[in-house]
């Protein structure tokens, strides 16, 4: 059983809490990811909230505390906005790190813990302006309705971003995904969407916003989603907090290990710059990285979305190692090997994407 309306070929890492990613070919089929193909990343059970009685509370370092229902938020007081945004989990492509050294207790995500949707809702900044941040406020924390037993101690899911990011127009409170009302597994009735930041900051089932002088002190901000040195141990404030996404790319079509006919083969995948950067160039090699050609970049979906890319190669019979590497607009290139990236929680594998394709003959 797959569940939550996902495609039958979805790869389910965990049924409860529900953690699942699409197969490579499904993710590579469209620039805007259909709902049944969008990965799901949950740290606890999916809450089923009643939109009629649901309230958003805004408090902490504000001039005016707010408590708003869905009608008050979406009824016209705040201007409606829409944005195409790629979400990417910090654990995306962890399988490549696990291949270097095991990471017990963490799901072996492939390249599918990222996806792109057209989100509809309101700007977070407009709601913050209504509450009036006090001068001491530096961070905005989001608290969801889901209680995670994975956290130490068990607690509601929460995260924070810097206030200066929260006030930017691209940061949304979203009630719609791809033109339809948000579904429960993706955070209904309202979630944050924080473009350019790791998915963990886009808090689902949002019920509380707290303005603070310091980052959120809950488990998912202070202990999880931190990049540890290879010999580090997870502990509050150990290592560095993750925020901006690093440049990344992988191959989606053909599948790793696919059998193809020798001759022309189309290769395609995604590249995502993260932060405020965009994709500058995507190189692809069909000979394990000895020679490179530039891929064609497909639909430009705006500043907060991935670029799908494609290129055609003439494959000789035998095993062909296909490699992708992306450059961002800051001149940053993905690291070549996952070996140098290994970390105890398995975050930020942005090593060059590699697959092997077998041409028979």
Ligand X SMILES: Nc1nc2c(c(=O)[nH]1)N[C@H]1C(S)=C(S)[C@@H](COP(=O)(O)O)O[C@H]1N2
Return residues touching Mo ion (CB under 5 A): 41, 89, 199-200
Q: Does 269 bind ligand X (CB under 6 A)?
A: no
Separation of alpha carbons 57 and 70, rounded Å? 11
Q: Does 109 bind ligand X (CB under 6 A)?
A: no
Burial pattern 11-29, b for ≥16 Cβ within 10 A else e, equals bbbeeebbbbbbbbebbbb
Among Mo ion, ligand X, none, what binds residue 247 when CB lies within 5 to 8 Å by partner kind? none
Question: Of 7-15, 196-204, 208-216, 290-298, which part binds ligand X (CB under 6 A)?
Answer: 196-204
Separation of alpha carbons 239 and 218, rounded Å? 16
Residues 29-58, mask of contacts with ligand X (x by CB under 6 A): ---------xxxxxx---------------
Q: What minimum distance in Å lies between the beta carbon of 46 and ligand X?
A: 9
Polymer length of the chain: 361
Question: Of 7-15, 195-203, 283-291, 323-331, which part binds ligand X (CB under 6 A)?
Answer: 195-203
Q: Does 19 bind ligand X (CB under 6 A)?
A: no
Q: What minimum distance in Å lies between the beta carbon of 30 and Mo ion?
A: 22
Q: What angle do CA 220, 166, 240 make, to 5 degrees?
A: 40
Question: Of 96-104, 121-129, 200-208, 345-353, which part binds ligand X (CB under 6 A)?
Answer: 200-208
Q: Does 89 bind ligand X (CB under 6 A)?
A: yes
Q: Does 155 bind ligand X (CB under 6 A)?
A: no
Q: What minimum distance in Å lies between the beta carbon of 88 and ligand X?
A: 7
The count of chain residues that interact with ligand X, using the rule CB under 6 A, is: 18
Closest to ligand X by CB, 185 or 279:
185
Among 96, 120, 144, 280, binds ligand X (CB under 6 A): 144
Among 10, 202, 334, 343, binds ligand X (CB under 6 A): 202
Q: Does 6 bind ligand X (CB under 6 A)?
A: no
Q: What does the radius of gyration of the chain's CA atoms come to, in whole angstroms?
A: 21
User: Are residues 36 and 20 in contact, defined by beta-carbon separation less than 8 angstroms?
Assistant: no
Q: Does 121 bind ligand X (CB under 6 A)?
A: no
Burial of 73 (0-12, 13-18, 19+ CB in 10 A): buried
C-alpha distances in Å from residue 174, one per residue of 7, 98, 130, 164, 358: 23, 34, 18, 19, 43
Among ligand X, Mo ion, none, what binds residue 78 when CB lies within 5 to 8 Å by partner kind? none
Closest to ligand X by CB, 94 or 186:
186
Among 87, 97, 245, 323, binds ligand X (CB under 6 A): 87
Closest to ligand X by CB, 35 or 271:
35
Q: What minimum distance in Å lies between the beta carbon of 250 and Mo ion?
A: 16
């Amino acid at each position: 059983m797959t569940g939550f309306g996902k495609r039958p070929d979805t790869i389910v890492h965990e049924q409860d809490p529900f953690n699942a990613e699409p197969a490579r070919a499904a993710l590579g089929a469209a620039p805007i990811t259909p709902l049944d193909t969008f990965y799901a990343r949950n740290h606890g059970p999916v809450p089923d909230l009643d939109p009629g009685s649901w309230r958003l509370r805004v408090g902490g370092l504000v001039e005016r505390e707010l408590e708003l229902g869905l009608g008050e938020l979406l009824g016209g007081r705040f201007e409606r906005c829409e944005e195409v945004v790629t979400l990417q989990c910090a654990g995306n492509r962890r399988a490549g790190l696990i291949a270097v050294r095991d990471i017990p207790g963490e799901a072996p995500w492939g390249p599918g813990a990222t996806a792109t949707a057209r989100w509809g809702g309101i700007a977070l900044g407009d709601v913050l302006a209504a509450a009036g941040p006090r001068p001491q406020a530096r961070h905005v924390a989001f608290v969801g309705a889901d209680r995670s037993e994975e956290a130490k101690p068990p607690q509601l899911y929460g995260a924070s971003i810097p206030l200066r990011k929260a006030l930017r127009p691209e940061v949304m409170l979203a009630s719609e995904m791809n033109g339809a009302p948000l579904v429960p597994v993706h955070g209904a009735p309202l979630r944050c969407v924080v473009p350019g930041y790791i998915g963990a900051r886009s808090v689902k089932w949002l019920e509380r916003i707290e303005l603070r002088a310091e980052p959120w002190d809950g488990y998912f901000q202070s202990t999880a989603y931190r990049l540890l040195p290879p010999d580090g141990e997870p502990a509050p404030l150990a290592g560095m907090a993750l925020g901006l996404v690093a440049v990344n790319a992988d191959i989606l079509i053909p599948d790793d290990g696919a059998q193809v006919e020798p001759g022309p083969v189309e290769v395609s995948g995604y590249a995502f710059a993260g932060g405020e950067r965009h994709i500058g160039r995507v190189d692809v090699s069909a000979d394990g990285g000895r020679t490179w050609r530039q891929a064609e970049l497909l639909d430009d979906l705006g500043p907060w979305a991935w670029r799908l890319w494609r290129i055609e190669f003439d494959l000789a019979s035998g095993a062909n190692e296909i490699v992708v590497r992306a450059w961002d607009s800051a001149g940053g290139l993905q690291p070549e090997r996952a070996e140098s990236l290994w970390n105890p929680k398995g975050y930020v594998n942005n090593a060059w994407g590699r697959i092997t394709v077998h041409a028979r003959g």
